[in-house]
Amino acid sequence: MTDHVPVLIIGAGPTGLSLAVALRCHGVDCLVVERADRPHRQSRGKGLQPRSLEVFRDLRVIEEILHAGEHRQRVRLFKDRRAVADLAVGLAEPGPDIAFPNIVMLPQWRTCDILERRLTGLGGRVERGLTLTALTQDHDRVTATLTDDQEIRVVTADYLIGCDGGRSTARRLLDVEFTGRSRQRDRYLLGDVIINGLSPQTDDHQLVSYAWLGRDGSFLGLAGLPGSDGFQIGASLEVADPDGPASPAGRDVATLQQLLTERSGRPELVITEATWLSDFQVNVAMAEDYRVGRCFLAGDAAHVHPPTGGQGMNTGIQDAYNLAWKLAYVLAGRAGDALLDSYPAERMPVARALLQRSTDILDTMITDNPVTSFLINRVALPLMSRPAINRAVLSRVSQIDVGYPDSPLLPPDAGSGRRRVRPGQRAPGAFVVDDQGRQSRLHDLLDRTRHTLLHWGPVEIDGHLPGWVVVCRLPDTEREVRRRYGLRRGDAVLIRPDGYVAWRGRPENLRPAALVAGEAPVPTGSGAA
């Protein structure tokens, strides 16, 4: 017997689970299959950026994420065993635009647990111990062959999404090139450890992390893990020949202990337990396309980042959120298949830019160039101790500034005029006060399964709008949102389900269907605000 499901998701990591939860919020049935027969308990990706936290707010898991994680941190940096900075991070206060301004530290397995519980509560499911071994597709559907120890199972789907990591089977079966480079000189040991004599929390319950940098470009870091007594440890390995393989250091505690002692200069720090160890080589790679017919790639299956800057997992979460509403619209008949072409068109440039950003951070932090090292030690790191500069630097990796200026969904004049907010940008936040004086956040008023039309003024506009556009009328006295968006009285802004501006202008000029067609956008002049 062949099972059928609208969307088949390969991989139950943060990307696959975020996609599944978002689809279930839209009422779309989906099946997540995972090769591993049980959830892992490894920290892996551990830093949730502010933009991902906004996604988790929309998926209704933010309270659990914030309760389980920690944003207050001390980061203690050493160069050649000498202390060069002690940074307090994660202390930014929420503002009108950004409700979650700090990176939240949370082991990846806890994030996955929270998402899977949410998925189950929405009627979704994960089936484990199933490996994708073959797939075919035609004009109407995808046929996937899944195997376990006992049987072969065939599942058909309207769409298949490969979220199965850097060694993606889905990508291989789709014959999609994964272009990039392996950085032979950058090889690391990574793991979760408990260290006698070192706690992951300060006396006032802030997480504490350590990083030891050597003038030879070596690195060892300990990142405190909330809700535990341990750290995630990461250490660069010596490479005998930069053009050849790494030295044969083992994937063992003895090697880590030796590196910890040598680089910290603190022999009293003893690793007493290691629950997970892995060695890996830094790869920087990206799929040549994110779509092949009815199949898509997302997360590490589409792009593999260096670990610096916390970009990889967060980029995958936002891949999922971008794709979910588009799949839901197409499956519901709200839009044609061309809408799905906007997924690679929007997300591939983002991954390309973030790959470069995380690579630049890695090159800067582990440089053995004496001039660059001097500038980092004597200028950059001391300046990072200043709260304003610290916040500015961290904002560069928050992904709040990610936008889609070249999206095929934009109206033709989206980039024209002197506008404060343009289509393709993340919809800014603001505080909103209603007629009774009650304050709320603008983002909390947006519909996350339909487009939301923010509108000021007396004109009735519902009559010519399709059911997937909901009108949110704000009091004419509401000035903060109008100021932040740069709007005049009577103007309107259309915001996509994933929180990006789709259109702005006078309501009578809005042609909603063109904004999800991926072609023939609204007539010139419609965005005259």
pLDDT band at 2 (very low <50, low <70, confident <90, very high): low
Domain 3-70+103-180+284-354, what architecture?
A: 3-Layer(bba) Sandwich (3.50)
pLDDT digits (tens, 9 = 90+) for 138-150: 999 999 999 998 8
pLDDT band at 517 (very low <50, low <70, confident <90, very high): confident
Across 305-309, 331-335, 482-486, which has the greatest mean pLDDT?
331-335
For residue 42, the tally of other CB atoms under 10 A from its CB is 18
Mean residue pLDDT across the chain: 86
Q: Residue 380 above 60 pLDDT?
A: no
Q: Residue 121 above 90 pLDDT?
A: yes
| Domain-wise residue ranges, the chain | 3-70+103-180+284-354, 403-529
Q: Residue 29 above 50 pLDDT?
A: yes
Q: What interhelical angle do 312-331 and 50-58 show, nearest 10?
A: 30
pLDDT of residue 187: 81
Q: Residue 249 is which amino acid?
A: A
pLDDT, greater one: 360 or 433 = 433
Helix or strand or coil: residue 477? coil
pLDDT of residue 308: 66
pLDDT of residue 518: 56
Q: Residue 20 above 50 pLDDT?
A: yes
pLDDT band at 381 (very low <50, low <70, confident <90, very high): low
pLDDT band at 385 (very low <50, low <70, confident <90, very high): low
DSSP state, residue 341 = G
pLDDT digits (tens, 9 = 90+) for 214-248: 888 888 999 999 989 999 999 988 754 444 444 44
pLDDT band at 527 (very low <50, low <70, confident <90, very high): very low
Non-local (6+) Cβ contacts of 372 within 8 A are 364
pLDDT of residue 452: 95
- Among 490, 437, 441, residue whose Cα is nearest residue 461: 490
Contact 71, 102 (CB under 8 A): yes
Q: What percent of the chain has pLDDT over 90?
A: 58
Q: Of all helices (H) and strands (E), which one includes residue 232?
A: strand 231-236
Count the residues in the chain: 529
pLDDT of residue 506: 87
Longest dimension (CA), the chain: 74
pLDDT of residue 205: 79
Distance (Å) of CA 175 to CA 15, 71, 178, 297, 429? 21, 41, 9, 12, 41
Measured CA to CA, the distance from residue 196 to residue 229 in angstroms comes to 10
Measure the CA angle with vertex 485, ends 479 and 486; round to 5°: 80
pLDDT of residue 386: 57
pLDDT of residue 88: 86
pLDDT band at 358 (very low <50, low <70, confident <90, very high): confident
Q: Residue 523 above 60 pLDDT?
A: no
| CA dihedral for 444, 445, 450, 454, sign (positive or negative) | negative
Measured CA to CA, the distance from residue 487 to residue 421 in angstroms comes to 9
For residue 467, the tally of other CB atoms under 10 A from its CB is 8
Residue spans of alpha helices (H) in 137-199: 169-173
Measured CA to CA, the distance from residue 129 to residue 120 in angstroms comes to 18
DSSP state, residue 500 = B
Distance (Å) of CA 451 to CA 107, 305, 426, 475, 493? 33, 32, 14, 20, 10
Q: Residue 473 above 50 pLDDT?
A: yes
pLDDT digits (tens, 9 = 90+) for 484-498: 898 887 889 999 999
pLDDT band at 519 (very low <50, low <70, confident <90, very high): very low
pLDDT of residue 520: 35
Mean pLDDT of 7-35: 98
CATH of domain 403-529: 3.40.30.120
pLDDT digits (tens, 9 = 90+) for 169-212: 999 999 999 988 765 567 888 899 999 989 998 877 789 999 99
For residue 395, the tally of other CB atoms under 10 A from its CB is 15
Q: Residue 383 above 60 pLDDT?
A: no
Measured CA to CA, the distance from residue 443 to residue 127 in angstroms comes to 34
pLDDT band at 360 (very low <50, low <70, confident <90, very high): low
Contact 507, 492 (CB under 8 A): yes
Distance (Å) of CA 438 to CA 93, 447, 452? 21, 20, 21
| CA dihedral for 158, 163, 169, 170, sign (positive or negative) | positive
Among left, alpha and beta (phi > 0; psi -120 to 50; other), residue 221 is beta
Q: Give the N- to C-terminal CA distance of the chain in Å, as an integer.
A: 56
pLDDT digits (tens, 9 = 90+) for 399-435: 898 999 999 999 877 655 566 799 999 999 999 886 6
Q: Residue 376 above 70 pLDDT?
A: no
Residue-wise DSSP of 323-376: HHHHHHHHHTTSS-GGGGGHHHHHHHHHHHHHHHHHHHHHHHHT---HHHHHHI
- Among 54, 47, 112, 111, residue whose Cα is nearest residue 73: 47
Contact 219, 365 (CB under 8 A): yes
pLDDT of residue 278: 87
Contact 291, 137 (CB under 8 A): no
Place of tokens 């990307």: 15
Q: Residue 529 above 80 pLDDT?
A: no
pLDDT band at 312 (very low <50, low <70, confident <90, very high): confident
pLDDT digits (tens, 9 = 90+) for 256-269: 999 999 999 999 99
pLDDT of residue 514: 85
Contact 303, 289 (CB under 8 A): no
